[in-house]
Structure 1
Amino acid sequence: MPAVTELEERTLLPPEPDTRDQEELSNLLARLPREEKARLVGPDGTETEIPDEVYRTLRQVIDALVKGKAITIAPHDTMLTTQQAADMLGISRPTLVKLLEKGDIAFEKPGRHRRIRLADLVAYRDRARERRRLALRELTQEADDDGLYDTGTGFVPTR
């Protein structure tokens, strides 16, 4: 297995592009079976069957590293700063603070600074995604009901 750089305990950086390590990771990903029951083999040869979800997650980690992406693995009880949480959601820190103050995301304030539990942030993100999916579904249904999908090219003639 290729060496992977470790940064701050839980962040794995991808191997440098066009190196032997990246090629080994790519080959490993290509050889991994998709449907068999997965087993973890220790250095001493001991084999342990692993759950399908763990196997799929390991495949995703390897795939991300092959694509040059860094991976961070953190327990759900990890506490995040407001900046870390905002970065994870892809929003500004002031926007995140507004969500916290509205009560959309649970947080703790052990001192002067707010801390957000990773599990609470993930739950909010999932709720927000589901709300967006429902809204898009409703808009699509309304457009279909109004016959907007049957109106030709969608371009409005200007002359």
Structure 2
Amino acid sequence: MTETLNERTLLPEHLDQLAEVRRFMDAALASTGATVLRSAEGEVVTLPAEVFEGLRLVALALSEGKAVTVAPLHTTLTTQEAAELLGMSRPTLVKLLDAGEIPFARPGRHRRVRLTDVLAFREYRRAERTAGLSELTRISEDLELYDDEPPEPLRRHD
């Protein structure tokens, strides 16, 4: 069976079965053995880690009543695709590319960005934000800006 890879959105329709699949996937994640897929004819194939993780995340989201969109991504992205993946405008991404924040290639007139570089940048930015928030919390605690008791609300005197 040959199928064209297009974007497809899956809706949660069988919540009881999805909850069972989620429990199964969570248990399989905790085990040390390989996870296999068995056909009705008895053929068995071992699931690669990335396929198992994808199925686990889909089962998790669907079991929580969320819709899931599955879309293939090329290993190289246009600047528009990369910007959408990072949740920013294309001009902002281009500024980051030109500043050397994310590597890119220019095989012709247009820039191309490797998916792995975009994902690495996204993780770097997440870690940077988390570290910044931790530092702000530490500074606030050092300055005793956190009180155990909330202050009395201000009352208006008319």
- Taking structure 2 as the reference length, the TM-score comes to 0.76
- CA RMSD between the two structures: 2.6
Which of the numbers 9, 12, 23 marks the counterpart of 2:5?
A: 9
Match of 2:66 in 1: 67
Corresponding residue SS for 1:150: coil
Deviant stretches of 4+, over 4 Å: none
- CA–CA distance in 2 between the matches of 1:71 and 1:62? 12
AA in 1 matched with 2:79: T
Contact 2:5 2:71 in 1 (8 A): no
> C-alpha offsets along residues 19-54 of structure 1, whole Å, 9 cap, x if unaligned?
xxx424x34422221214532113532123435664
Distance across 1 between alignment mates of 2:50 and 2:80: 30
Q: Cα distance, 1:156 vs. partner? A: 7.3
Equivalenced residues, count: 144
Query: Which of structures 1 and 2 has the larger relative contact order (alpha carbons within 8 angstroms, sep 6+)?
Result: 2
Question: 1:121 aligned to 113, 118, 121, which one?
Answer: 118
Cα offset for 1:143? 0.5
- Unmatched segments (≥5 aa) in structure 1: 1-5, 16-21
Report the CA distance between 1:157 and its aligned residue. 3.7
1:71 to partner: Cα distance: 1.8
In the alignment, structure 1 residue 46 sits paired with structure 2 residue 50: no
CA distance in 2, matches of 1:154, 1:109: 58
Matched residue type, 2:20:
R
Percent of counterpart pairs with the same letter?
A: 40
